[in-house]
Amino acid sequence: MKVRRMDHVGINVLDLPAAKAFFLDLGFEVMWEATMGGAFVEKVIGLQNVKDDCAMLRTPDGETTIELIQFHSPLDEKGLQPSFANTLGIRHLAFLVDDLDAVVAKLKARGTELFNEIQIYEDIYKEIFVRGPEGIIIELAEELKKA
């Protein structure tokens, strides 16, 4: 027995439309959207009185899938907790893009928080970290062409 592949990453959000818009701006496509709840979902995730809305998004190549979930009940009583690069657990998502300068310009125009300016990593990547919706840290990178 072995793992075949990662299927998707689930991200809980407070504002599903805003989170979805952010990823659509990066080029993701909507696979499906649904309102979920009931006995089956409650058994799978181990919570009671579940009602949520979710959107499954994928990159244009179909290789990367994320599930954005907004719980209406039960609510997380702690609320959104700020995270930093050294916070334990999953801390960021990384995506390759075709034109990093264009993506960053678009994100800047929409008020996205940038951690720094675009950096060059060992002549292999141009990259930057940004804070996406709900405080999600996103690494964006463009592969540099070798001459």
Q: What is the CATH number of domain 9-73?
A: 3.10.180.10
Name the more confident of 146 and 99. Answer: 99
- In the chain the beta strands, taken as DSSP E runs, fall at 9-12, 29-37, 51-58, 65-73, 92-96, 113-114, 119-121, 125-131, 137-143
Mean pLDDT of the chain: 90
Put the strands of the sheet holding 9-12 in their side by side order: 9-12, 65-73, 51-58, 29-37
Span(s) in the chain for CATH 3.10.180.10 = 9-73, 92-143
Structure confidence at residue 146 (pLDDT)? 55
- What would the CATH number be for the domain defined by 92-143? 3.10.180.10
Residue type, 12: N
Condensed to tens digits (0 to 9), the pLDDT of residues 36-95 reads 998 888 888 888 999 999 999 999 999 999 999 999 999 888 877 777 778 887 788 999
Q: Evaluate if residue 118 carries a pLDDT over 90.
A: yes
CA distance 50 to 129: 34
Predicted confidence (pLDDT) at residue 143 exceeds the cutoff of 90: yes
Q: Which residues of 71-93 are buried (b: 16+ CB within 10 A; e: fewer)?
A: beeeeeeeeeeebeeeeeeeeeb
What is the pTM assigned to this prediction?
Answer: 0.85
pLDDT of residue 147: 44
